Amino acid sequence: MPYLLILVAQRLALGALLLLAVSALIFIGTEILPGDVAQSILGQSATPEALANLRRDLGLEDPPHKRYFSWLWGLLHGDLGTALTNGVDIASSISKRLYNTMFLASVAAVIAVPLALLLGMIAVRFRNRWPDKLISGTTLGFISLPEFFIGYLLIYFVAVKLGWFPSVATVYDSMNFSERLAAVALPAATLTLVVLAHMMRMTRAAILNVMQSAYIETAELKGLSSFKVIFRHAFPNAIAPIINVVMLNLAYLVVGVVVVEVIFVFPGMGQYLVDHVAKRDVPVVQACGLIFAGFYIVLNMLADIIAIISNPRLRHPK
C-alpha cells in the first residue's frame, strides 16, 4: 500500500507541475497574439490618448511577467479575472456554460462508452467474420470524417429532412431533462460517432491480446460460451489499456466540443471561447484554455491512477 500511495502522489505532483507549465504556455500564447483589445473595444476612430488610458485601466501596460504572476495568484484563489470587453466576472459567466458543456459531454459519454465496449466484445466474439468487419468498417468510416462534416450531415438528414430533432441546440434554465436531451441530441450524436471508433478498436485489440492466454483456454475447455469467456475472463484482464483510451476520449469530449458547439450554436464553453477570441478578450481566452487543459490533465491523471490500481503487477512490483 505505501508503494501505491507513492505512485499516486507522484502522478498528482506531476499533474500539478504540468498544469503550471500549461498555464505559462497559455499566457505566452495569448500574449503574442496579433491585435489590440483596447482598439477592438474603442474602435478604429479612437484617439491615441483614449487608447493609452484604456490600456492603463486594463493593466495592459504592466510587464508580462507581472501580469502572469498576478493572474496565477488570482487563479490560486479562484479568481479567473474580468472580461475586458464587458467587465463581467469570468467565473460567473463560465459557470453556466461549463454546466452546459459538461451536460453535453456526459450525454455523449453515457452513450459512447457502453456502446464501444459492447461493440468491441461483439467484434472479438465474431472475429474476422462479417459482424467484426461491419463494426470495424463503419466505425473507421466515421472516424475518417471530421466532426464538423458529421454534424452538418446530421443537421441535413435528421433535422432538415426528417425533422426529428432541432438543428440549433438551444438550452435554457426552464427546460426539463427530456427537453434538454432532445436539444443536445444531434451534438451528442456527433461526439459519440467521433469517439466511438477509438474506444471500440482499443477494446477489441486489448481483449484479443489476452485471448491467447492459458486461462482463457481453460475457461473454454470448461464449456463456457464464447461471450461469457470474453466478458468474465478476458475483459477484466484487459481493462487497463481500455481505461486509458476511455479516459482520453472522455477528455476529448470535454476539450473537443469547440467545433461541435459552434456548429450547433450550443451555449457552452466552446462557443463562449470562440466568441471572445473574435473580440481578442485575452483573460477569457486564458481562463477557457486553462479549464480545458485542466480537464485533460485531470482525466489523464485519473487514467494513470486507475490503471495502477487495477494492475496487480503495478500495485505489488515485487
Q: Do 26 and 289 contact (CB within 8 A), yes or no?
A: yes
Q: Do 82 and 89 contact (CB within 8 A), yes or no?
A: yes
Q: What is the mean pLDDT of residues 80-103?
A: 78
What residues have CB less than 8 Å from 307, skipping those under 6 apart? 240, 241, 243, 244, 314
55 in a structural domain = no
pTM: 0.77
Per-residue pLDDT for 106 more than 70? yes
Q: Do 70 and 64 contact (CB within 8 A), yes or no?
A: no
User: How many domains is the chain partitioned into structurally?
Assistant: 1
Distance CA(115)–CA(131), nearest Å, equals 15
Per-residue pLDDT for 29 more than 60? yes
End-to-end CA distance of the chain: 13
246 in a structural domain = yes
- What is the percentage of the chain residues whose pLDDT exceeds 70? 83
Per-residue pLDDT for 36 more than 80? no
Phi and psi torsions of 82, nearest 5°? -125, 135
Q: What is the CATH number of the domain that holds 262?
A: 1.10.3720.10
308 in a structural domain = no
Helix (H, G, I), strand (E, B) or coil at 169: coil
Per-residue pLDDT for 251 more than 70? yes
Q: Which of 98-107, 224-233, 306-315 has the lowest mean pLDDT?
A: 306-315
Q: Do 314 and 244 contact (CB within 8 A), yes or no?
A: no
pLDDT tens sequence across 118-140 = 888 888 778 778 877 888 788 77
pLDDT score at 148: 81
HSE-up of 225 (CA within 13 Å, CB side)?
5
Cell numbers of 37, please? 483589445
121 in a structural domain = yes
Phi and psi torsions of 44, nearest 5°? -70, -20
pLDDT score at 1: 53
236 in a structural domain = yes
279 to 60, 86, 287: CA distances (angstroms): 16, 11, 15
What residues have CB less than 8 Å from 80, skipping those under 6 apart? 74, 89, 90, 91, 94, 283, 287
235 in a structural domain = yes
14 in a structural domain = no
218 in a structural domain = yes
106 to 15, 95, 100, 101, 188: CA distances (angstroms): 23, 16, 10, 8, 9
pLDDT score at 34: 63
Distance CA(192)–CA(187), nearest Å, equals 9
**Residue 275 domain boundaries:** 90-279
